[in-house]
Amino acid sequence: MALSDVDLTVNLYTEGDKFFDLLKAAVRDWQGGWGHERERAAYALELYQRSLTAMRTHLEEARARAEGGFFTEQDQRFLNRTEERLAYWEKKLAEIKK
């Protein structure tokens, strides 16, 4: 068995809402608990932030590619939806960090 056999990939476009919901719930549930629970909350928060960064980076790259070439209505809808979801989850992150 290779280390690459245990990788996990989450498609943030199709599964992002469920993924971020789980992380948000984990952070809220474990923030004020025992030491090991606070560590889990910190890890969930780190995953949340890394995922938002990945989503933002992909969005910027997709926008640059789309604007540099053939830009269809479908491309625009994809970018708009992704921007909306990113803004929503960034807002939720700010709420749970309070």
Q: What is the pLDDT of residues 39-98, one digit of tens each?
A: 999 999 999 999 999 999 999 998 888 888 877 888 888 899 999 999 999 999 999 887
Length of the chain: 98
19, 26, 76 from 22: Cα distances, Å: 5, 6, 28
pTM: 0.84
- Kindly report the backbone phi and psi dihedral angles of residue 46, in degrees, each rounded to the nearest multiple of 5, phi listed first: -65, -45
Please state the rounded mean pLDDT for residues 15-28: 94
Rg (CA), the chain: 16
Looking at per-residue confidence, does 33 or 60 come out higher?
60
Amino acid 5: pLDDT:
75
In contact, 14 and 8? CB cutoff 8 Å: no
Amino acid 51: pLDDT:
96
